[in-house]
Chains A and B, each alone.
Chain A
Amino acid sequence: EVQLVESGGGLVKPGQSLRLSCTASDFTFGEYAMSWFRQAPGKGLEWVGFIRSNGFGGTTAYAASVKGRFTISRDDSKSIAYLHMNSLKSEDTAVYYCGRDIKCGGDCYNFDYWGQGTMVTVSS
C-alpha cells in the first residue's frame, strides 16, 4: 500500500531552520512529482511547493509566501522528499503535509496520496 510519512517537525524559534522529510513506500518514488502543503491551526490548505521527477528535470516551484526561504529536494535512492525551511516566522506555524502527484506527463497537481502530517511550531 502506498504510504507517505512526514517527520522532522517540532518547536523552533523565529529565524531558525528546520528540515522535514517525507518518506515514501510501495511505489516507484522517482517517477513521481512530490508536493508539500501546510495547514495553519484551524485554517485551510496552502500549497507550499513541488519538485518534479528527475525525468522532468527535478525542477522546483514555490508559493510566493515561502519563495527564497524554503527549498525542496529529493533523494530517489532513499525514496525521500525534503522540505528545508530557513528564516522561519511565526506565520509558518502549521501542520506540514507531503503529497504525491499523479503521473500525467506534466504538472498535474492531482494529489492522490498524502502523508499524515507533521507539526511545525515557530515561537519564541
Chain B
Amino acid sequence: DIQMTQSPSSLSASVGDRVTITCRASQSISNYFNWYQQRPGKAPKLLIYAASSLQSGVPSRFSGSGSGTDFTLTISSLQPEDFATYYCQQTYTTPTFGQGTKVDFK
C-alpha cells in the first residue's frame, strides 16, 4: 500500500490566516491525489482533485499543488467554516488516506 503522511497533525490559526498543510506519499503518484475536508460529525467533502483542480462549489481560497511525492493544500484566508480536519488521499492505486490535520482556533 502507498502510505500518505500529513504534516502537521494539528495547527492553531485565526480567521484571516494563510494556512498550509502538506502531504507526502511513500512513492511517486504523479498527480493522482485529492484533498478532503471533514467537519465534526459530518462526512468528508472533496475539495481538490488531481492535486490542483478545485471541486465544483468549493471556494477559491482553497488551492492545491504538487506532483510526484509532495503535495500542499493552501487556504489563503481562513474562514470560520474552515475549522475542520483535512485529509489527503492518493488515487494512484486503491485509495489510502493521510492521518489528518486538524485546524482549530488559536
Q: Which residues of A contact B (CB under 8 A)?
A: 35, 44-47, 50, 61, 63-64, 97, 99, 102, 108-112, 114-117
Contact = CB atoms under 8 A, between A and B. Distances in A.
B89 interface: yes
Given A44-B98, A111-B36, 16 more contacts: A35-B95, A45-B87, A46-B97, A47-B95, A61-B94, A97-B43, A97-B44, A102-B49, A108-B91, A109-B32, A109-B91, A110-B49, A111-B44, A112-B55, A115-B43, A116-B42
B94 A44 contact: no
Name which of B46, B94, B99 has the most chain A CB atoms within 10 A of its CB: B94
B91 A116 contact: no
Contacts of A47: 94-97
B30 to A, nearest CB: 13
Contacts of B42: 116
Contacts of A61: 94
B94 A111 contact: no
Name which of A45, A61, A114, A115 has the most chain B CB atoms within 10 A of its CB: A45
Nearest to B42: A116
Contact of B43 (A44, A110, A117): A117
A114 B94 contact: no
A45 B97 contact: yes
A105 B59 CA distance: 27
Interface residues of B, number: 23
Contacts of A44: 87, 97-100
B34 interface: yes
Contact of A110 (B44, B46, B87): B46
Name which of B1, B43, B97 has the most chain A CB atoms within 10 A of its CB: B43
B44 A114 contact: yes
A12 to B, nearest CB: 23
A114 B44 CA distance: 7
A97 B87 CA distance: 15
